[in-house]
């Protein structure tokens, strides 16, 4: 059977159902089977693997996942795509499409119901650009038991997620995701292989779940509060950002200076120069003075 992800078959399917793209849902469908092969190869799928897909579109990636994985559960928010998916994925009996916004779904519960007996769970998806970060963070924070993610997203966001300290891309998003996973850009995807063509190139990023977080901290919530505060205004020093952004920071400036000294971090440094380990030391040193403001 001819792959869904070719320009002619994609056009045929869209015309058959009179489907029009919704910009608000970030719909850009892949029309190059080679890219899909590379995605499934990166995910190293096998019949012992269950896969969660988010935003299957007309099923281009889904069919490649169904051919290589044991079972695929795909979340689709757009009701107009349900009859199309029922048609395009009819040859595959190991696919289930759930009409639900993944951000509102109890994903852990669905994993328990759908993937009993599978030894691995992977998240593999071409994520809509506008909700990339909330989806990744939800799956990480809710501790959905996946081994890794192989996801396509805007190249700029992939660069930020995988960035290292001292680079202009490095920020609170890099830290939040690298706290839970090892992040690496697998390959770049040109904008020309999508219909409609987006304005920017994409990248496939591989996130491998860590057995334990990258650093141990007294309070995860406060650690992330400190990292977000540290990047609030990138040109400001760490001392100025923490003083202006932390609750009661101005009143507790002396405590902030003391914590920076304790963590062996110069107050004149900027957030982008600090490693995860330094942020962990700083967060733990600050915590006694600010713990009352953390729920």
pLDDT(196) > 90: no
Token pair listed for 92: 């595959």
What is the average pLDDT across 32-55? 97
pTM here is 0.93
> In the prediction, which pLDDT does 130 show?
81
> In the prediction, which pLDDT does 17 show?
93
What average pLDDT does the structure give for the chain? Answer: 94
Binning pLDDT at 50, 70 and 90, where does residue 295 land? low
Match 């609170």 to its residue by tokens.
172
* Beta strands 29-30 and 194-195, pairing class: antiparallel
Token pair listed for 116: 């009993």
Task: List, as one string, the DSSP characters of the chain.
Answer: ---SSSHHHHHHHHHHHT----GGGT--EE--HHHHHHHHHHHT--TTEEEEEE--TTSHHHHHHHHHSSEEEEE---GGGHHHHHHHTTT-TTEEEE-S-GGGS-HHHHHHHH-TT-SEEEEEEE--GGGHHHHHHHHHHTT---SEEEEEEEHHHHHHHH--TTSTT-SHHHHHHHHHEEEEEEEEE-GGGEES--SS-EEEEEEEE-SS-SS--S-HHHHHHHHHHHTSSTTS-HHHHHHHHSTTTTTTHHHHHHHHHHTT--TT--GGG--HHHHHHHHHHHHHHHGGG--
How many Å is the Cα radius of gyration of the chain?
Answer: 22
Q: Which CATH number among 3.40.50.980, 1.10.8.100, 3.40.47.10, 1.10.3720.10 corresponds to the domain 220-293?
A: 1.10.8.100
Binning pLDDT at 50, 70 and 90, where does residue 198 land? confident
> In the prediction, which pLDDT does 26 show?
64
Contact 57, 223 (CB under 8 A): no
Contact 89, 117 (CB under 8 A): no
* Beta strands 71-75 and 95-98, pairing class: parallel
What is the average pLDDT across 26-52? 94
Give the residue ranges of the annotated binding site.
28, 30, 55, 76, 101, 126
What is the average pLDDT across 175-196? 96
What ranges do the domains of the chain cover? 7-209, 220-293
pLDDT tens per residue, range 57-86: 999 999 999 999 999 999 999 999 999 999
Binning pLDDT at 50, 70 and 90, where does residue 176 land? very high
> In the prediction, which pLDDT does 129 show?
81
pLDDT(167) > 80: yes
Name the architecture of domain 7-209: 3-Layer(aba) Sandwich (3.40)
Residues 6+ away with beta carbon under 8 Å from 53:
61, 62, 65, 72, 73, 74, 75, 123, 124, 125
Beta pairing partners, 195: 29
Binning pLDDT at 50, 70 and 90, where does residue 171 land? very high
Give the residue ranges of the annotated binding site for S-adenosyl-L-methionine.
28, 30, 55, 76, 101, 126
pLDDT tens per residue, range 100-136: 999 999 999 999 999 999 999 999 999 888 889 999 9
């Amino acid at each position: 059977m001819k792959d869904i992800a070719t320009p002619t078959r994609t056009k045929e399917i869209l015309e058959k159902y009179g489907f029009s793209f919704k910009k608000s849902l970030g719909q850009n469908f892949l029309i190059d089977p080679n890219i899909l092969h590379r995605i499934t190869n990166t995910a190293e799928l096998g019949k012992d693997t269950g896969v969660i897909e988010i935003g299957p579109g007309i099923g281009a990636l889904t069919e490649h996942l169904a051919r290589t994985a044991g079972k695929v559960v795909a979340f689709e928010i757009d009701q107009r795509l349900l009859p199309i998916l029922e048609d395009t994925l009819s040859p595959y009996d190991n696919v289930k499409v759930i009409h639900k916004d993944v951000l509102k779904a109890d994903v852990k519960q669905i994993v328990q119901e759908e993937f009993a007996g599978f030894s691995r769970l992977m998240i593999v998806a071409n994520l809509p650009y506008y909700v990339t970060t909330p989806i990744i963070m939800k799956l990480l924070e809710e501790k959905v038991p996946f081994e890794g993610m192989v996801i396509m997203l805007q190249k700029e966001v992939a660069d930020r997620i995988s960035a290292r300290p001292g680079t202009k891309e490095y920020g609170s998003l890099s830290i939040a995701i690298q706290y839970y996973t090892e992040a690496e850009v697998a390959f770049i995807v040109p904008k020309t292989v999508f219909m409609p063509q987006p304005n920017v190139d994409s990248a496939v990023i591989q996130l491998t779940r860590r057995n334990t977080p990258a650093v141990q901290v007294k309070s995860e919530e406060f650690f992330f509060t400190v990292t977000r505060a540290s990047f609030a205004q990138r040109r400001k020093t760490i001392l100025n950002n923490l003083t202006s952004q932390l609750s009661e920071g101005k009143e507790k400036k002396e405590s902030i200076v003391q914590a920076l000294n304790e963590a062996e971090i110069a107050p004149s440094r900027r957030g982008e120069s600090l490693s995860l380990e330094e942020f962990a030391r700083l967060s733990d040193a600050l915590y006694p003075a600010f713990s009352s403001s953390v729920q």
